Every structure is written in structure tokens, then in C-alpha cells.
Amino acid sequence: MSTKNGSKPIPLLQGESYQQSYFKQPLPAVDSLSPFEHIQIHYRCNWKNVIPAHRLPYYMVFLVMEGEGIHTFGTREYYIRPNMLCFLSPDVINSWYSEEEEHRGFFCTFSDDFFNLGLENKRFLSELPFFQLDGEAALHLSDEQMNAYISLFRLMEGEYKNPTKHTDQILRSYLHALLNKAFAAYQVPNCAILPPHHAGLRLLKAFRALYMQDFGVLKEGKVLKLKQVAAYADELGVSQNHLNDTIKAITGQSAGRLIRNQLAKHALMCLKHSDQTISEIAYQLGFEDPAYFSRFYKKQTGRSPSEYR
């Protein structure tokens, strides 16, 4: 779908477009790459050296054994090299560039439907810190940790290439182990830990789910239409003051600030990856006046959109 002035949104790669963009040679006997109950495991040596800005409909985890390059995840740029484990969540804009020909390692793409099947906590995957837009998407591994992940990926790759009627469940178990192991090693400073059934935490999660659902229209190239905090409070069955007080007690920020932060992150991703003009980006993010968008962006980031570019 095109935007107001005819610019195309960052492409969502799946099926044939995914194969053509990622792989040096066509995949043998590849499935439909549907985002529903999808899992695939491949060698990173099959990756192309340049993959332009795009989005994927599923999660990705990759392990780097050899080779290096620049991988951009959302708003952050990483120098990728050996002994790194990296994470990408669905619909996050990313790109890859490398001048080296030799790359070794593994990568796995999977859907939340596949991961969550039979799992009691369906939110676990989406709430992992390395899958957050502002999270650390790359873990640096010691040699001992690296060897453990290589063994795990080799088990997964072997099971994937020699499937039985139990393969899906076995791969799901390996994947659970991999992500739980990474989560255990992930360091989050100054993180307030609350009981999983804390009422305030439930309200925060419900609020975030509502406004993130509104942001979801951007991946379809549609214009963003955010609601006022009062409207979100009504949907949640609480007063605006209660919503603000609860969220501020947990995060230190108001409900409106969380939404503005998310809006600024999407603006930065568009400015970094898109060929749209600043006016086109402003319109898609719900700003009728590009000048107001520029003032908003500068207030949030300290730089104007044109200064960033």
C-alpha cells in the first residue's frame, strides 16, 4: 500500500521475496514461509552480503561463528562479529551489510504461534527484553557460552533436516531452552522486578498492548491514528488519573510519555531506513503539519528530523 504521496512502505519479506532477498541460492524444498506455526533453521553462510531495509513477519535468532558486518535493528546499528547471539522481532525494520565473503553460523526464524503452542504464558516471547524495540538485540558470548549455543543450534539443525512426527515438539523445546538461556544471561540495569500477578503490572501490559495495536497499522502503510490517554483508560475500565499514577509508579513515566516515546522510535526508524520525505513520514505518523512533527521530534530526541538525516 502506498502512502499519501505515492512512496512505498518498507517491504515485508515472506515467501519468494524473503528467499530472493536473503539467500545467495534458492532454498531446496522450502515451505511456504507462512508466519503461522513457522520455523526454519539455516546456515548464515547462505546470507547475501547486502540485504536492504525490510521487515519480517516472524522472530529471528542468529549465532555468528565467523564473518562480520553492520546489522541495523530498528533504531540501533550493531557491528556484528563472531561470538555474538542476535535477536530480531517481527515487523522491526532491519538491514544488513558486509564486505566479507566468508560467514558461518546459524539462524532460526519462527512464529509466535509455533513458539507458544502449549505454553501457558503466551506473553513470555513478546516480553523478552532483547525483542523490545529499545532492547539490546545482540549478546556478546564467552567461548564457553558460544560452544554451548553452537551445540544447541546443531541439535536444532539436525532435527530440522531429519524430521519425524515429533520434530515440531523437539524443535519447540530446543527453542524454549535457547531463549530461556539467553534471558538468564541478559543484564537489565535498574529494572524493578514485580510479582507476575501484580495488578499494576497487568494494567501496564494491557495499556501497552492497546497502543501497540494502534501502531500496527504502520506495517501496512496506513496512517497512524493514536487515541488520547483518556480513551485508552476508558477501554481499560479505569480513570485517566489511575492509569497515569499506576504507570508512573512502575516506569517512572506517564502514560502519554510512553506513547510519545514509541512514536519517536517509529519516527527515527522511518528517517533512518525510508526514502520518504520528512513530510511524508509526518503524514504517515498522524501529523497533518510537518512543522509540528519536526518540533515534536526535536523535543523528543534533541535533534530535528533534517539534522538527524
Report the C-alpha gap between 302 and 130 in whole angstroms.
25
Task: Look at residue 238 and tell me whether its pLDDT is greater than 90.
Answer: yes
Strand partners, 12: 55
What's the whole-number mean pLDDT along residues 279-297? 92
What's the whole-number mean pLDDT along residues 35-54? 86
138 or 248: whose pLDDT is higher?
138
Least confident of 5-9, 187-191, 228-232: 187-191
Same domain, 147 and 293: no
* CATH number of the domain where residue 82 is located: 2.60.120.280
pLDDT for 62-92, tens place per residue? 999 999 999 988 878 899 999 999 999 988 8
> Are the C-beta atoms of residues 59 and 111 closer than 8 Å to each other?
yes
| Domain count for the chain | 2
Most confident of 82-91, 93-102, 183-192: 82-91
Report the C-alpha gap between 127 and 119 in whole angstroms.
14
Same domain, 55 and 171: yes
Task: Look at residue 5 and tell me whether its pLDDT is greater than 80.
Answer: no
Same domain, 300 and 242: yes
What's the whole-number mean pLDDT along residues 51-63? 92
> Are the C-beta atoms of residues 129 and 136 closer than 8 Å to each other?
yes
In a domain, 194, yes or no: no
pLDDT of 155 = 96
Q: How confident is the model at residue 198 (pLDDT cuts 50, 70, 90)?
A: low
* CATH number of the domain where residue 272 is located: 1.10.10.60
Please, is 28 exposed, middle or buried when counting C-beta atoms within 10 Å of its C-beta (0-12, 13-18, 19+)? exposed
pLDDT of 32 = 44
pLDDT of 36 = 60
Domain span at residue 244 reads 199-308
pLDDT for 261-287, tens place per residue? 889 888 888 888 888 899 999 999 999
Q: How confident is the model at residue 24 (pLDDT cuts 50, 70, 90)?
A: confident
